[in-house]
Chains A and B, each alone.
Chain A
């Protein structure tokens, strides 16, 4: 990961020297941010225990759903390379929920199928494009042990479990333990220790670290 990042920095420096690099730099910074987030998503799998009925069989992949306008681009490519050893991760992209609902008006069964597969996800990344429909999505997957991950302010308060935040240009995250408990997900203490903020069961907003 670090090697990749380093290479990217070099690449960025090269672009700096090149003319009309300003836009390129912004794009690459965003790209790098999402690469790190993609890597974090993969790492979360290793520090979260799903309940028995949800645990994927050894030959089945862990399903990572992405709802809304996908900001990752090809950011998963580097992490995908490493998958040969570990468990397979299947990335499933869903249309924004509004669009789904629209298509559901025409074909009800299609909507049901989409919702069903949404619930089957182990991880669900809700893109910032879905900010307005957060509650709706979280309600859809409630009780199906889906680790919801967001990328926006107030995600935890809306019932999301993990939310990415940026701190001094570094990618950090915060955890809602209450939501995790409700989803019957066990989050390892090592991960908790690293979280910028953890919302405990008492609902008192207490930041760790």
Chain B
């Protein structure tokens, strides 16, 4: 109430009383008039309804017998009621059957629409409808309309009376209140005057109010207060002195505060202080500059106003943790400086009050981006080296090319710092030139695995890289990305060709995120990977080819052996025929042949014999490895003795076994062939009058090493290899009968068992044939059997 504010107490009191009176009277008046209005309406409606009911009852017969004149007569009674402007009787068809109109009324005054029994106020009329019922049957409707103006006239008169009463009452109220207000205002005015005096320093002044109400008590308290004031004033001087001392101390404190403040401001680190709820309390100029605000503007803000949500949430979580634990923490974290992400080192310290309660957190942080960058670079080069190492070590493993590529792509896509998407593929050019075939992939979408299974050179990014022989880079899926599908996820690519000696072997395809920037370091790394892979692929492919060739050679060899067997077997039969025929001719024609003829026949026989031996040799040779004999336990001491018997050395040649020979498990015929060939050779070529052949055996590195040494003619070193080849003999055939197959057979048998055979010799002094057999291949597995043989 701003108007009341500036009034004197006297006027305030009068105003309050007057307002209350008027409001109360006004309310009462309004309620009265509303009540009267409602009652009048109700009464009018009831009266008019009664009238309509009477007419309805009276005109029953008239309506039933269609006597309009009589009905008119019934309605004539309405003339007695001046407010009624219209009365009508309607038949069931809704047509006016009989009507009454007040003399001044217009014909249009009748209602536009008939209604059921009841009344309505509207258009300045009260309209009542009443159905005419004869014996439960509705035969018509009565309608009566009354003018509402007389009722409104009555209401206006009442309102005038109420207004008059209101005015009169207000005047009386004013008169009474201006008298009665003095009871309260006089002592208050007196109190005010006293207060003014005491305020001027007249503490001895007494307030002269003696009433027994609140004002009296107030005056009493006022007097007491004045007395107290008098006594207190004297101590105020002391107080003033104390205050000035405190002010000085405060100034000193402020100076010290300023000093530290200046120190903080000039520190290169950024410093801030937050309260318990991580709301900033203050910061130094350095930090404010970062946030592009003034230091004082930071008060009341939070991290959420300066940083993206995930940053702010992280900072807040750190704050809360440190305040809870009460421990100082050094945190390395990300920070946004003018939109650039940098690395900072932050030291956060909980701030405590005098009672040791944590009241906030103090933070100091500084930029460590350079250091981080250096670290990252180190890590990157380490990772790069590690991947290349892994790839190199892969090349040493004995695995297939496909497996190698699978593992290689795992290594390449596993680098954490590389901004590649851990998705990629390796393509190789295989049998069909100019087409890349996908060999390994990681994370490729299913449609692409089919689409990119074969990519011709020049198609899509990979094809382009292969065609150009250079790294292709894309930071998004554009029209060059020809191998695509609906709903392809946006991405970019490094496609690096794998090149060896100017030949494109394949392509490495690595995914990068959309919008990725081409990076020299990544490219160098991928180039290095491609180079390493090129070497490996070349070698692996070479190995594969070699293995294939070896296979081919083996099968060709086998076919040859089979052929040799078949041929020699089939040749033997006619040869036997020739030999028999020759012997028959020699016998039957012995007297008819002259000496020359006999010699020719002998020559024929010996040549056939040689032919026979040759074929036998080939047959034996081809049998080795093709026909497998059952392995048996062989006591070599006994076997060698038998072979010596078989060879039947002449008197001048002594064959000795120098030490105990082992018991082995072997194909009996084969080992017999080996010793027989070696011993017969030694005997055959012996050129000394006292021939010596020594058989020995020694253990060496898991092998049995056997030696057959003679003191024969010896062999020139250039023939050391040649003598083991088929049909190679050193002496002319006519001097020493030899097929040139024996050593070849021995070599094949020994090598079949994983052993070796070779010769050491000096011309004129003799030769030593040596051969080895791996112990674990010829070991007797069944100990009982072995024991049995020995016993």
List residues of A whose CB falls within 8 A of some B CB: 1-3, 6, 40, 43, 46-47, 82, 85-87, 188, 190-191, 193-194
Q: Which residues of A contact B789 (CB under 8 A)?
A: none
Whether B135 and A86, one on each chain, are in contact in the complex, defined by CB atoms closer than 8 angstroms, is yes
If A194-B62, A194-B70 touch, whether A85 touches B91 (CB-CB below 8 Å) is: no
B105-144, CB under 8 A of A: which get 1 and which 0? 0000000000000000000000000000011110000000
Q: Which residues of A contact B135 (CB under 8 A)?
A: 46, 85-87
From B61, B66, B95, B137, contact of A85 by CB (8 A): B137
Whether B136 and A188, one on each chain, are in contact in the complex, defined by CB atoms closer than 8 angstroms, is no
Q: Which residues of B contact A87 (CB under 8 A)?
A: 135
Query: Whole-angstrom distance between the alpha carbons of A134 and B61 in the complex?
Result: 28
5 other A-B residue contacts (CB within 8 Å) besides A2-B92, A82-B137: A6-B93, A40-B65, A86-B136, A86-B137, A194-B70
Query: Whole-angstrom distance between the alpha carbons of A27 and B64 in the complex?
Result: 25
Whether B70 and A85, one on each chain, are in contact in the complex, defined by CB atoms closer than 8 angstroms, is no
Q: Using a Cβ cutoff of 8 Å, how many contacts connect chains A and B?
A: 42
Q: Which residues of A contact B58 (CB under 8 A)?
A: 190
From B62, B93, B95, B137, contact of A190 by CB (8 A): B62
Q: Which of B87-102 contact A (CB under 8 A)?
A: 91-93, 95
Contacts A/B (CB < 8 Å), 14 sampled:
A2-B92, A6-B93, A40-B65, A43-B134, A85-B135, A85-B137, A86-B135, A86-B136, A87-B135, A190-B58, A190-B60, A191-B61, A193-B62, A194-B65
B296, CB-defined interface residue at 8 Å: no
- Name the distance in Å between B661's Cβ and chain A's nearest Cβ: 143
Query: Whole-angstrom distance between the alpha carbons of A194 and B67 in the complex?
Result: 7
Q: Which residues of B contact A40 (CB under 8 A)?
A: 65
Number of residues of chain B lying within 8 A (CB) of chain A: 17
Whether B61 and A193, one on each chain, are in contact in the complex, defined by CB atoms closer than 8 angstroms, is yes
Q: Which residues of A contact B61 (CB under 8 A)?
A: 43, 47, 188, 190-191, 193-194
List residues of B whose CB falls within 8 A of some A CB: 58, 60-62, 64-67, 70, 91-93, 95, 134-137
Whether A3 and B137, one on each chain, are in contact in the complex, defined by CB atoms closer than 8 angstroms, is no
Q: Which residues of A contact B64 (CB under 8 A)?
A: 43, 46-47
- Name the distance in Å between B274's Cβ and chain A's nearest Cβ: 92
Query: Whole-angstrom distance between the alpha carbons of A6 and B95 in the complex?
Result: 12
Query: Whole-angstrom distance between the alpha carbons of A40 and B66 in the complex?
Result: 10
From B93, B134, B136, contact of A2 by CB (8 A): B93
Whether A85 and B136, one on each chain, are in contact in the complex, defined by CB atoms closer than 8 angstroms, is yes
Closest to A47 in B: B61
- Name the distance in Å between A188's Cβ and chain B's nearest Cβ: 7
Query: Whole-angstrom distance between the alpha carbons of A194 and B92 in the complex?
Result: 20
Q: Which residues of A contact B70 (CB under 8 A)?
A: 193-194
Q: Which residues of B contact A85 (CB under 8 A)?
A: 135-137
Q: Which residues of B contact A190 (CB under 8 A)?
A: 58, 60-62
Query: Whole-angstrom distance between the alpha carbons of A82 and B70 in the complex?
Result: 25
Whether B65 and A2, one on each chain, are in contact in the complex, defined by CB atoms closer than 8 angstroms, is no
Whether A46 and B65, one on each chain, are in contact in the complex, defined by CB atoms closer than 8 angstroms, is no
Query: Whole-angstrom distance between the alpha carbons of A190 and B95 in the complex?
Result: 22
- Name the distance in Å between B301's Cβ and chain A's nearest Cβ: 87
Q: Which residues of B contact A6 (CB under 8 A)?
A: 93
- Name the distance in Å between B18's Cβ and chain A's nearest Cβ: 66
- Name the distance in Å between B68's Cβ and chain A's nearest Cβ: 10
- Name the distance in Å between A31's Cβ and chain B's nearest Cβ: 17
Q: Which residues of A contact B67 (CB under 8 A)?
A: 194
Q: Which residues of A contact B91 (CB under 8 A)?
A: 2
Whether B134 and A46, one on each chain, are in contact in the complex, defined by CB atoms closer than 8 angstroms, is yes
- Name the distance in Å between B745's Cβ and chain A's nearest Cβ: 137
- Name the distance in Å between B405's Cβ and chain A's nearest Cβ: 102
User: Which one of B58, B67, B92, B93 has the highest number of Cβ atoms from chain A below 10 Å of its Cβ?
Assistant: B67
Query: Whole-angstrom distance between the alpha carbons of A126 and B93 in the complex?
Result: 33
